[in-house]
Amino acid sequence: MAYKPNLAETPFGRRDSRHMVVDQGGTLWLALASEAAPSLVPTAPRPAGLFEINALRDGKPLPYTYDADDATITISAADATIAITHDTATNALRFEAHNVTLRLDGKNPAGVSSTNKPNGTEVNIGGGKYFFIAPRGTISFDDTWVLASFGSVTPILDVAPDADGKVELIAYDLPADTVPPPVTKTFGECILQNKADFAAFSELLKDGLSDEVRYKIWLNSKKLANGHWCITPNRVISAATTAVQQAIASLAFKDGDASIDVLLSIPEASPPLHGYVAAKLLKSGASASGASRLALAKELERAKKWWDANRWYPGGYYYAYRFETGFDNPPDFRDNGYAPDAELAELVALHQTVIDALIDNSVDLSADIDLTKFVSDGLIAEILKEVK
């Protein structure tokens, strides 16, 4: 049975895509996830979407209800419907409407610019960028500049149905000067692909995780330029992450190679929790390929050398900055900013233990470390709560 997200709390989306649909005040909004710096406060207020989704008839919005699962949203208004899904092959959000005009109503005119091109409309709004194409129906866009107020009217994009009463709209998230790729899959094929992707990803996760956490991990997964998958703390607020969050997120996977892939997603040489999490992985008996184990050993060796060279002085290892810990609740700092920390020393020393253990597939972790005190909110805390 498909997972049904509560869109007022968790957006509709898919992994490795910025496209989202969120429920704000009972109406659905189209949005793009932020590419800003990582937010260490996942409970911060969610930014408003870029466009409110309306079903329009005779120039007036119709009241509607909607149903959402892990692959599609279906909006119902009188005798009209609007369906939404992702097209993975084109990195696009697909809309299909019947017997109604699809309206995307931008409520905030600040920072809006648009360019009408022969094959569609390019819109920049609120830090997001869309390229809209309507294969079926008539598309119109209005962000008229009002000289008297030194701003534009609230941007509105309408797609009126064709002679058969049908609308198709494609919303691309593309870099500047990129030609939108052609659509090759049907709407139904896109739905099936999304369902299959979520199901296959779920199989990599440990048994016992709730459907909600499984969906959130999938939704917040993003492939980095180095080829590894990272888990963002909250896709709505930020598409970035930290080494600590990555280490904890890797605990959700039952497959050793998948766990190590997430551990290796942050190339920085300063992940203090990576050795500890790798030790838990080895103790759990999860199997991993020789290539993955070697890559992890090299990362841990590089990390230990970094801590030895940059964060050690007679008296112990220290954090130079509060944000450097990556923890929600970093340790107390001295007046000079240094924070010698006995637990940090354990974490760094454990790197070498795990490096040795990766060779003979055994590890002796004499003391457990409570991670829950480091992360108190958001997806990472949910993973910690459910992973034993």
* Residues 98, 102: Cα–Cα separation, whole Å: 9
Stronger pLDDT, 120 or 8, i.e. the higher one: 8
DSSP for 320-347, please give it: SSGGGG--SSPPP--TTS-EE-HHHHHH
What confidence tens digit (pLDDT) does each residue in 143-171 have?
A: 665 444 445 567 788 999 999 999 999 99
- Residue 279 to residues 267, 282, 284, 331, 358: CA-CA distances in angstroms? 19, 5, 9, 23, 9
> Mean of the pLDDT values across residues 353-382?
73
SS3 call for 318: strand
Q: Which residue has the tokens 């869109």?
A: 7
pTM score over 0.75 = yes
Structure tokens, 282:
């080895």
Average pLDDT of the chain? Answer: 82
* Domain spans of the chain, in order of start: 19-192, 208-386
SS3 call for 373: coil
Which residue blocks in 338-377 are alpha helix, DSSP H?
A: 342-360
**For the chain, how long is the longest CA-to-CA vector?**
79
222 Cβ contact list (under 8 Å, min separation 6): 15, 16, 229, 230, 231, 232, 235, 239
- Identify the CA nearest to 132 among candidates 80, 167, 108, 99: 167
Is residue 362 very low, low, confident or very high in pLDDT (cuts 50, 70, 90)? low
In which element (H, E) is residue 136 found?
strand 128-136
Task: Decide if 38 contacts 238 (C-beta within 8 A).
Answer: yes
Q: Count CB neighbours of 223 within 10 A.
A: 12
Task: Decide if 274 contacts 247 (C-beta within 8 A).
Answer: yes
SS3 call for 128: strand
pLDDT value of residue 14: 93
What confidence tens digit (pLDDT) does each residue in 18-67 have?
A: 899 999 888 999 988 876 543 333 334 444 578 899 999 998 999 999 99
> Using the 8-state DSSP alphabet, how is residue 209 labeled?
-
- Identify the CA nearest to 197 among candidates 180, 214, 174: 214
> Using the 8-state DSSP alphabet, how is residue 111 labeled?
T
* Residues 236, 385: Cα–Cα separation, whole Å: 22
What confidence tens digit (pLDDT) does each residue in 291-313 have?
A: 998 999 998 998 889 889 988 88
What confidence tens digit (pLDDT) does each residue in 250-288 have?
A: 999 988 999 999 998 876 666 678 888 888 888 877 788
* Residues 42, 35: Cα–Cα separation, whole Å: 15
